[in-house]
Structure 1
Amino acid sequence: MSLLVFGGLAGALGAGIQFSGDPSAAGPRQQLALFEVVDEAKPDLKTRLKTDAAEMAMLPQVDTDGYAEVESGDEPSLGIAYAEGAEATGTGGPSDDVMADGEGVGVRINGKLVKPGESYGEVTKIASLDDAPISGMTETVNGVRLPRIAADGRTPAEAYARPFANPGQKPVVALVVGGLGINATHTKSAIEELPPEVTLSFAPDANRLQYWIDRARAAGHEVLIELPMENYDYGRMKMHPQTLLSGKGADVNVPRLNTLLGRASGYFGVINYQGAKFAEDATAVRPVLDVLSKRGVALVEDGSLEEASLDKVADQTHVRYAKAASPIDTKLTADDINLELMELETIAKEKGAAMGAGYAFPITIEMAKIWTSELGPKGIILAPVSALVGTTPAELVDAERVATGSKAQAPVNPAG
């Protein structure tokens, strides 16, 4: 009974506190916080469009005097190199040899030397020669498109040549690699792997001849067309149907020449293919060179002909002419080819210029790549063959005929 009375009193007391009491008076209380409680404030914002002038005035000022004279070493590379201590038109590149003779005055951008007065676009354009045919430099004769001298006097020998200049009058070497267009792999290798200063010659019956010439010129190479000439001994080889023959006159050889010249366009000259027998017959040679002279096409001799009359007749007919010292790859070994190339360097240093001729054998292309890459430190310039051709054969120097030109001939084509 007493328990029931006590329970009733406790329940009544609790109900009274619930409806009328102050909980804070019941005893101490502790508040637990899961996050720190702070007064709210405006966040600091970086305003880009509009800033209070008063706030800007409160910002610390940074002194930038002298910053321009300090090199951090962290400047980005823009592909532009100036010579140390030079102005914007200072010497380009680190070569002492270039700086010494003034040949490299300018700025080197991405490996290209831009001289005062030139633009980068003008310099890089040389990497690709103009599309062929050039307007006004062809004519059609009996259904055959042939090269011709333009109305303004430009000749194919000039218009289709690769630009070249040698202001320092350094020794010059040139190289022609031929037999192209027959083997697509070798042709592609020569076009893409050899420096653009190397002249390329194409067989007249090459598959897609104009295509290959266009590709070569797009890569910067000037080109020649090979003229098959009668040899003494063909062995098992069959004579080309358009071979220029000894003992024959203009009535036979000129139509054959026109057929060969009409195979393509974009070549600055022609080069002999074989021809020991034909080249000895000055009577047969003359009408052929008369046509070349009339059409402004250059003649290059590959150095394989011992008793040729080509140089003498070229002199008489005023044909632009150049002759190689010798073939470089009659023996297809690296050592033998290298010896021939070293001989060209010797001739160039002694007489001003030298030219070699070879074929697009893999070993020839490989050796030519190595050789041309090493000419610069030797003080020798690689030139296109057109830079060595003159309106007459090479003059006599030291009582000897210079087969590959002279110092006076090298600048013949300074501007293309």
Structure 2
Amino acid sequence: MSRGFLSGVLMGGIVGSVGLAVASQMARPPGTTWPSVKAEPATVAADVSSSSDRAAVADAAGGADPASVPMAAGAVPAGPATDLVPPAGSEFARPLPDAPPVLPAADRAPSRSEMLPVAVPDVPDTSSPDTRTASRPQSVPLEPAVPVAPAGEAAAPARPATSLAAPVRLEGTAQPGVPAAEADPAAAELPPPPPLTPEEEAMLAEAAGITDPARPRMIEADPPRTTADGSRLPRIGDPDPTTQATVAPETDLPPIRRYARPFENPMQKPLFAVLLRDTGGPALDREALAGLPFPVTFVIDPQEPGATTAAAMYRAAGHEVLMLATGLPEGATAADAEVMLESAALAVPEAVGMIDLPSGGFQEARTLATQVVGILEAQGRGLVTHDRGLNAADQVARRQSLPAAVVFRSLDAEGANAAEIRRVLDRAAFKAAQEGRVAVYGDTRPETVQGLLEWTVEGRADAVALAPVTALMR
């Protein structure tokens, strides 16, 4: 850049000097006059550029008016600016030398040969995925080739052929090309599998074709085979018809089956059980309660004076009854539980099971709950508990395969009115749709019975199947 700037300054000086020299040659020296030249007016007019020159041309033209003489093209009229003349003795009009000026050479662009090459790094192309086919893995033989026995030795026995469908595992021997398998961990080292959630149980039931969650369908492993005359052939495990016992009469059935209310669910709706505790008193209309048009399980306090009569009235109407776990002292022992259950069974003999108290009771004490579950199992009755705490009684009952159910919600807590009871019933119906079954608990108060009747007519009772408690415990 500095080189171009200097060249421009030099060129400007040279051009300016040339211009000054030309101007000095064209200007008239001081004190001189143009010679008288006779020429044609048109010719003179072409060379006139000032007023004094026009006057001289006019004199030459025979006394013409200087104003009528035309000015040359590009001429400037006389005035203060044109009357200036260079001073005497100046070299302004000195002629320029004949040598041509020397101009600086222009900047030259570097040639391609002088340019240094720049290496461009290789960038992998990621615009398209690698679609090259991987090499096919070589198959590994399952067993090594049988070595050829040397001459004079007995040939080794032929080994059975191994197929891919039924691989043979050789204990203590390593196979070439196959990594050695790790030793199986002991059974005690594996954590127990988590229990199935209700959603997983529903998915399994749907996959197995079970539509009623309360009645699992038994799937036969092998369809029965018949002979030519249509009779079924005996199968392994069938009892001997000569020693098969006759069907037990109804009196030999346990109470949970003998006093259960018949129930069917052809629409396969979620099960909904309503449990009402008999509050007693002269104002209670047991006949109206027994005439309810849907299944109700009544809870009877065995220590009440009219417990046996009330249970018989409800049983005559076809309803199921449960005995309430009252009479257990604080800090009760196993002997106290046995005495309580025996007296309750005598007061309510047709009870299908026992229900714990809404608060307190035995279901939180594991030792006492284990004793109660054992006695109920010996009596042939089921167990109903409440959804609170760890509920040790329900855990023990399910571990010992005792029929059991859990109450989801209390209907008339803190003296709820009919509208509040209907809202609780709606929430319970939604719970039944999620889990397939639900049970609610309440007292035989007028508000509770009114809310229950209104809900069965106007609520979501159509979405569930009102069922006795034994349908939930099966």
Q: Compute the TM-score of the two structures, normalised by the length of structure 2.
A: 0.44
- What's the offset of the Cα at 1:194? 2.6
Give deviations 1:48-90, integer Å, cap 9, x for gaps.
Answer: xxxxxxxxxxxxxxxxxxxxxxxxxxxxxxxxxxxxxxxxxxx
Decide whether the 8 Å contact of 2:275 with 2:299 is kept in 1: yes
Residue 218 of structure 1 is aligned with which of 287, 304, 316? Answer: 316
1:327 matched residue in structure 2: 410
Whole-Å separation in 1 of the counterparts to 2:346 and 2:365: 24
2:298 matched residue in structure 1: 200
The residue correspondences of 1:377-416 to structure 2 (distance < 5 A) are 378-390=462-474
1:309 matched residue in structure 2: 392
Whole-Å separation in 2 of the counterparts to 1:277 and 1:377: 31
Alignment-mate amino acid for residue 169 of structure 1: Q
Alignment-mate amino acid for residue 203 of structure 1: D
Consecutive unaligned residues of structure 2, counting only runs of 5 or more, are 1-247
Decide whether the 8 Å contact of 2:422 with 2:459 is kept in 1: no
Distance verdict in 2 for CA 1:190–1:254, change over 3 Å: farther
The residue correspondences of 1:36-55 to structure 2 (distance < 5 A) are none
The one of the two structures with greater contact order (alpha-carbon pairs below 8 A, sep at least 6) is 1
Give deviations 1:279-333, integer Å, cap 9, x for gaps.
Answer: 2110111111100011111111244x33321111111332210011111110322
1:265 matched residue in structure 2: 349
Q: Compute the TM-score of the two structures, normalised by the length of structure 1.
A: 0.50
Residue 318 (1) aligns with residue 401 (2)? yes
2:266 matched residue in structure 1: 167
1:155 matched residue in structure 2: 254
Consecutive unaligned residues of structure 1, counting only runs of 5 or more, are 1-148, 229-241, 391-416
Decide whether the 8 Å contact of 1:194 with 1:368 is kept in 2: no
Other structure's SS at 2:284 match: helix
- What's the offset of the Cα at 1:190? 5.6
Whole-Å separation in 1 of the counterparts to 2:471 and 2:263: 7
Alignment-mate amino acid for residue 175 of structure 1: V
- What's the offset of the Cα at 1:380? 2.1
Residue 209 of structure 1 is aligned with which of 287, 294, 307? Answer: 307
The residue correspondences of 1:12-411 to structure 2 (distance < 5 A) are 154-180=253-279, 182-188=280-286, 191-228=289-326, 242-243=327-328, 245-246=330-331, 248-276=332-360, 278-303=362-387, 305-331=388-414, 332-374=416-458, 378-390=462-474
Whole-Å separation in 2 of the counterparts to 1:377 and 1:220: 21
Alignment-mate amino acid for residue 324 of structure 2: E
Q: Which has the higher strand share?
A: 1
Give deviations 1:359-397, integer Å, cap 9, x for gaps.
Answer: 11110011111222346873321111111013xxxxxxx
Over the aligned positions, Cα root-mean-square deviation in angstroms equals 2.4
Give deviations 1:173-207, integer Å, cap 9, x for gaps.
Answer: 11000134x22432516624533401111111223
Most deviating of 288-297 and 271-280: 271-280
Other structure's SS at 1:177 match: strand
Most deviating of 189-198 and 357-366: 189-198
Distance verdict in 2 for CA 1:376–1:164, change over 3 Å: farther
Alignment-mate amino acid for residue 178 of structure 1: R
Alignment-mate amino acid for residue 162 of structure 1: R
Decide whether the 8 Å contact of 1:196 with 1:220 is kept in 2: no
Bigger Rg over Cα: 2
